Structure 1
Amino acid sequence: MKYSSIILITICLVSNSSYGQTCNCEQNFSWVKKTFEENDAGYQDIIALKGKQAYTTHTDSFIQKIKGAKTTTACASLMNEWIHFFRKGHIGVFPADDQDDNDTNAHWEKTNINLQDFKNHLYAEKTPGYEGIWDLNNDTIGIIKEKNQYTGFIIKSGNISWKQNEVKLKFTKSTDGDRLLFYTGNRSTEEYKNVELIGNNYLQAGGYVLKRVFPEFKKDDKGIEAYYKRMTAKQPYAELLNDKTVYFRIPSFNPKYKKSIDSVILKCKSKILTTETLIIDLLDNGGGVDESYQELLPILYTNPLRNIAVARRSSKLNNQALLDGYNNPEYGFSAEDKKWAKQAYDKLESQLGKFVNLGDSTIYIEKRDSVYPYPKNVGILINEHNGSTAEQFLLDAKQSKKVKLFGRMTFGALDMSNLNFAKSPSNCIVLVYAMSRSFRIPEMPVDDIGIQPDYYLDKTIPLFKWVEYVNEILNTK
C-alpha cells in the first residue's frame, strides 16, 4: 500500500458551543474561511501566487452578498463560489445532507405545467428532440422548451424533498456552446458545458445520462443501448467484446467499490491475461482511493513504476481526520492499516503547523518480478469528469509501455488531495478541502489543467462509438 499518496475521503464533525444551531450565514462563513486557511494544503500556494491583496478584494466582494443570504442553500452557494478562488477541484462548500432547508424548498423555482397538457404537446412531436419525459436514476423528469431555454422539472422523485414541478435542470444550446445547470439532491448546483442527444432515446446531460420514457420513438441500435448500460452502471464489470478484446468498466474508485473491483479482476484475470487487448473504461469516474486500483497495476506493468509522495499539512483537525478515516468500518481497513494510521497521527501531532512526509522518501520506485505477455495493448477511456484518484491511476498506468489514453482532457484535481469533509459547528454547512500536497508541484501540475489523452476523440466520434473506435485502433495491425 502506498500510504504516502493515498487519496482518502474523511468526514469530521467540528463542535463548538459558541455557535447555536441556527444557520447564520455570516457566522458559518467566518468558520469556513478560518477553517480553510488553517487546514487546506493549497491555501498558502495560491496566496503566494495571486497575492494577499487579491484574496482580500475577492473576499470583500462576497461579504455583503453573504449578509443578504436568506437560506442555507443560498448561503452555501455563495461560499462555494467564493472558495473557488483557490482552485476548481478538491474543494467546495455545500449544505449538509441532513439540513432541512424548508425556506429554500418553499421558494424553489417551479413550473406551472399541467402534465396531461404537456403529454398532448409531446404527442405532436414527430422527430426526437430534447423535449420529453425522461428517466434519471430515481427521478422522472419532464423537459420543455421555453423561448431559448430548456427546463427540466420533476414529475416524480425518489427524493422526498423534491416535489412535482420543481425545476431540476436548465440548459441552453447555442453556437457558442452548451450551458447546463443541474440541481443535485441537496439542491446544490452543478454546471456543465455539454448536452447531447444520443440516438432517439437518450440524453447526455453533463455527467448524467437520461433515458426517454415518453413519447416513444424508434428503438436505438445495440451500440447506443450498450452505451447507456455502461454509463449507468453502479458496479464495475468486465465482458468479452470479441476474441481479441476484454472490456472493463470501472464507474468509480470509491473505497466502497474496492471489493467489487478486486472481485471482477480475480474472476476475469485468466481471460484478461490470455487476451490481446484490454479496454478500461473510466468515463465519469470521479475518483476514490488509490487502493481501489492496486490489483490492476500488475496486469499493466512493463517497467519500474515511479510514485511521487505527498506532504500532509499537519493540524489538529487534519490529523484527527486521518485517524478517523482509517478507523471507519465502511472502508474496511486492516489492523495493519490502522496501526500505520496511529503511527502517522503521532508523527503529524509532533510537527503541528508543518508539511509532513509520512514516508521516508519523496519518490518510491515499485519493481515487479513479472511482466505478463498479455494483454499486449491497453486502452483507457477518459473524459473531463475524471479527477482525483482516477487521475492518479492514469499517472501510474501511463508509465506502462502497453497503455494509451483515449478521450478528452481530464478535470484536473489531484495536486491537492486527501479530502476532508468538515461539518460546521451549526451542522448546516459542509466544507470540503484538501489535507495533502504532491511533491510533483510545481514541476508537473495537474490541478486546473488535467491530463491529456494520447488519442483525442473529437466530437465527430459519437460518444456511444468510443469503445468501438478504441477497439479498432488497438486491434489494427
Structure 2
Amino acid sequence: MRIFTTLGFLFVTVYLFGQNCDCSSELSHVITYFENNNPAFQKIKNNPKDYKKYRKESEKLKTATKLEKDSDRCIVYLDQYVSLLKDHHSDIGFQMKRTDLSTPELIANFKSSKNYLQFEKTSIDTVQLIPLLRAKKTSDIEGIYSDGGKIVFGIIKKENTLNQYQGVVLKKNKLLDVGHVLLELTQKEVQRFDVNYNVGLLGFNTNRIFKNLKIENGQITNFGFSKINTGSTSNEKEYEFKTVNDSVNYLRLSSFDHKLTDQLNSFYNGIDKPIQAKPYLIIDLRNNGGGSEKSYLNLLPYAYTRPLKIDAALVWVSPENIKRYEEIASDGNAELIERMKKAKPFTFISYSEKGNDTWTLETSTTYPKKIALLFDRGTASAAEGMILYFLQSDKVITIGDNSGGYIGYGNVMTGQTPCGKYTIRSTTTKYEEKSKYEFVGIEPMYKVAKEKDWIMYAISLFSKN
C-alpha cells in the first residue's frame, strides 16, 4: 500500500510541549530508535561496506545538528538520516501544537503577534494573476492550489530567478491575508523541490516545515494540496481498456487505490470476454503508486501458469517493537506478540507460523497467450506486488524501467521523539525475497528509454515471438 504522511491531516491534533527541542538530542534518539527497531537497518549493519558508509553519513549529520541554530530545520536532518536506511515506508512525522484561536479576540491577538508579523507578505493583483494561473497546465508547477477547504494560493515564479517559486495566498480567510507567502519552493530537478511551508501563519508551534518533495500532476501530496481551476483539467480515468489491433488488447491501470477496488472489479468483469478473445495483452502500470492488493487479484487468472509462491514476512523482535504491537493489540496479533516475547531479542522471526506458502488458483485462461507488463519508477507498492506475481508466469514479459522499490518492508509502527515534536514511523517487518527490491526496484526484462513508444515496442516483441 502506498504510504505517505499527509501533514495537513496531522495538523488537527493538538499536543503540548514543555521544552525547546534540541536537534542534536532529537537526532541521537532517532538514530538509536531505528538502529534498535528497524529491519532495513539490520541489512545495512550486516554489510561491512554499507555499514561504513552509513556510519560516515550519520556522523556528518550529528556534526551538522550541533551547529544548527534554527530548531525548525531539524526535520531536514532527520529526513536525511531516514533516507540512509533505504526504507521507503519509514519516515519522520510531526506532532503539532496549535494556538487557541477559538474566538475573534484570540485570532486578533495572534495576528498582531511578533511571530505572525515576521512572515512575508507580497503585493499582488489577483484580478490579473488568477486568470493567468488558471490557464496553466496541470503538469506546470505554477497554478492555483487548495487544501479543499479555506486555503487557496497560487504558485508563481519569483522574478529574476531560475528555480525559485512562491506560494502566495489568493483568498483571504480568518488567518491568512491575500499576498501572504505560504510556501517557498526551490526546484532541484524535474518535479523535485525543496519546500518551506510557513505553518506558523496557521498558528502552529513550528514556524516552518522543510521538505524535499516530488510535485507532479498538480499534487503536493505531503502537504495535502491539489491544483484547482486549471485550464487543462484532465478527465482521464485511473483505468482504461482498448483494442490495439486484431491480436492485441491494451489495459492501463494507473492506481490501485482501495477506493477504486469495487470499480476496478466491475470494470474487469466487463472486459473479461474481450481480453480472452485475443492472444496478446499489454498491461500498463506506469505511475501506478499502489494501494490495495485486492485491486488486481482478479487479473491473476490471465497470467497463471503454476502455483504462486507467497513471500514470507519476518518481524524484527525488539523490546520497543513488542510495545508497539501491544499498543495496537487485537485478537489477530496476540499469537505473534507471544512469540515475539519468547524469541531472542534483536532477531527476526516469522510473522506467521505457517512461513512460506504457495497459492493455487482454481481458474486460468488460455488467452491471452502472452502478456507484456509496462512499468517505471512511478510504479510502486501494491503495483510491484502484482509485477512479482505475474513474473512467476511463463506468459509474461516485462518492459520499461526499474520500478519504484516500495515493496521490501512493512507494518509501520509509530514512536515519539523526547521533546514530543516529531513522530518516528518505522517498519517492523521485511519480506525475505521482496526486500532485495527496496529502493532499487524490480528490473524489467527489456529496458526502454522514456522517450520511446513503449506500447509499440511491446507489440514488436509480440511479433517476434
TM-score, structure 1 normalization: 0.68
Match of 1:397 among 385, 390, 399: 390
Measured in 2, the distance between the counterparts of 1:394 and 1:52 equals 30
Q: Name the structure, 1 or 2, with higher relative contact order (CA <8 Å, separation 6+).
A: 1
Deviation of 1:37 after TM superposition, in Å, equals: 1.7
Find the partner of 1:344 among 336, 341, 350. 336
110, 116, 133: which one aligns with 2:143: 133
SS in 2 for 1:166: strand
Matches within 5 A, 1:354-373: 354-359=347-352, 363-373=356-366
Query: 3-state SS of the aligned residue for 1:42?
Result: helix
Q: Specify the SS of the correspondent of 2:349.
A: strand
Alignment of 1:193-212 (within 5 A): none
Percent sequence identity over aligned pairs: 18
Q: What secondary structure is seen at the aligned counterpart in 2 of 1:59?
A: helix
Residue 295 of structure 1 deviates from its aligned partner by: 3.5
Map of 1:181 onto structure 2: 193
Partner of 2:378 in structure 1? 385
Q: In structure 2, how many angstroms separate the alpha carbons of the residues matched to 1:452 and 1:158?
A: 49
CA shift for structure 1 position 119 = 6.8
**8 Å contact from structure 2 (residues 87, 409) kept in 1:** no
Equivalenced residue count is: 419
Deviation sequence 1:1-57 (CA, Å, 0-9, x none)? xxxxx99999xxxxxxxx955461444334322221221012232123247665554
| Native 8 Å contact 1:94 1:188 kept in 2 | no
Preserved CA contact (<8 Å) 2:119 2:181? no
Matches for 1:5-404 after TM superposition, within 5 Å = 21-22=18-19, 24-26=21-23, 27-49=25-47, 50=49, 55-67=54-66, 73-87=72-86, 89-96=88-95, 98=96, 100=98, 113-115=124-126, 133-134=143-144, 138=148, 141-144=154-157, 146-156=160-170, 164-167=180-183, 169-171=185-187, 178=190, 180-181=192-193, 183=195, 187-192=209-214, 228-230=234-236, 237-240=239-242, 245=249, 247-252=251-256, 258-266=261-269, 268-270=271-273, 272-274=275-277, 276-288=279-291, 290=293, 292-319=295-322, 321=324, 339=332, 341-353=333-345, 354-359=347-352, 363-404=356-397
Do the aligned residues in 1 keep the contact of 2:256 with 2:293 (CA within 8 Å)? no
Change (3 A) 1:432 1:304: same
Matches of 1:61 and 1:471, distance apart in 2: 46
- Contact 1:245–1:275 (Cα < 8 Å) also in 2: yes
| Deviation, structure 1 residue 263 | 4.9
Contact 2:2 2:380 in 1 (8 A): no
Structural RMSD (CA): 4.9
Indicate if the aligned counterparts of 2:402 and 2:443 stay in contact, CA closer than 8 A.
yes
Equivalent pair of 1:71/1:104 in contact (CA under 8 Å): no
| CA apart distance, 1:239 | 4.0
Gaps of 5+ in 1: 1-5, 11-18, 196-201, 220-224, 328-337
- Structure 2 segments unaligned to the other structure (5+ residues): 6-15, 100-109, 200-208
Instruction: Give the distance between the partners of 2:44 and 2:380, measured in 1 at CA.
Output: 20
CA spacing shift, 1:394–1:47, aligned 2, 3 Å: same
Q: Distance in 1 between matches of 2:37 and 2:260?
A: 29
Question: Does the 8 Å contact 2:414/2:426 carry over to 1?
Answer: yes
Classify 1:476/1:52 alpha carbon distance in 2 versus 1 (closer, same or farther; 3 Å). closer
Equivalent residue number for residue 199 of structure 1: none
